[in-house]
A and B are shown apart, each in its own frame.
Chain A
Amino acid sequence: EVQLVESGGGLVKPGGSLRLSCAASGFSFSNAWMSWVRQVPGKGLEWVGRIKSKTDGGTTDYVAPVKGRFTLSRDDSKNTLYLQMNSLKTEDTAVYYCTTSRRDILTGNYEWYFDYWGQGTLVTVSS
């Protein structure tokens, strides 16, 4: 059974930093392409960033509002995905979800949509 468990959320002041973790199990994490998606409580979904597997280059990509402030990384030995968030702003307040990308059965390719989601961790940026 696939499990994604986020941790590390909490209350932080504007300008502060926080590191989120996502512990993965039940699938081959080292081969997986992963993303973070966030949601302001009561509002819609916003993709934050993504990271490919190391064998596929390990490249990262981010949505414009977080570029230069957020960094995705992964530790395949620990089956864990990270999101380092620096220079936090009040508008970063949201529930942050860790997600897996679907691997197409027919082609073997990973596609950038999300088949498994964690329960999320709440980040509150407030003075």
Chain B
Amino acid sequence: DIVMTQSPDSLAVSLGERATINCKSSQSVLYSSNNKNYLIWYQQKPGQPPKLLFYWASIRESGVPDRFSGSGSGTDFTLTISSLQAEDVAVYYCQQFYSSPLTFGGGTKVEIK
């Protein structure tokens, strides 16, 4: 199984400041035949199901504000919120779909400082 490890578990950031979340996979999720990283980012707000933010590690889902960005390749990935807004308070999860079982990171809780 591919283990997804997120860091930190939580972070508190001032409004307008940058938030950075890391996700590391126990093996590469880069598929060589198509050069795509099988890595997803979701956002989950309290009382709601998760919402898709990024696919293929860095492709922003329609409607996601451009203050969010996804980067990385192979085993190391980053979700960045360039200027934190109040509505970004949530738990963020990464997920790999390179192989079964599909696995998620443990989540990173983002709060306002």
Contact = CB atoms under 8 A, between A and B. Distances in A.
B100 A61 contact: yes
Interface residues of B, number: 20
Interface string A56-78: 00000111100000000000000
A29 interface: no
Give the contact-size bracket for chain A.
20 to 34
B97 A112 contact: yes
A104 B49 CA distance: 22
B40 A113 contact: yes
Contacts, number: 51
B106 interface: yes
Centre residue among B44, B49, B51, B61 by max chain A CB count within 10 A:
B49
Contacts of A64: 101
Contacts of B95: 45, 47, 113
Contact of A47 (B55, B61, B102): B102
A97 B50 CA distance: 10
B62 to A, nearest CB: 10
Interface of A: 35, 44-47, 50, 61-64, 97, 102, 111-115, 117-120
28 contacts: A44-B104, A44-B105, A45-B42, A45-B44, A45-B50, A45-B104, A45-B107, A47-B102, A47-B103, A47-B104, A61-B100, A61-B101, A97-B49, A97-B50, A102-B52, A102-B55, A111-B55, A112-B100, A113-B52, A113-B55, A113-B97, A114-B40, A114-B42, A114-B50, A114-B52, A117-B49, A117-B50, A118-B49
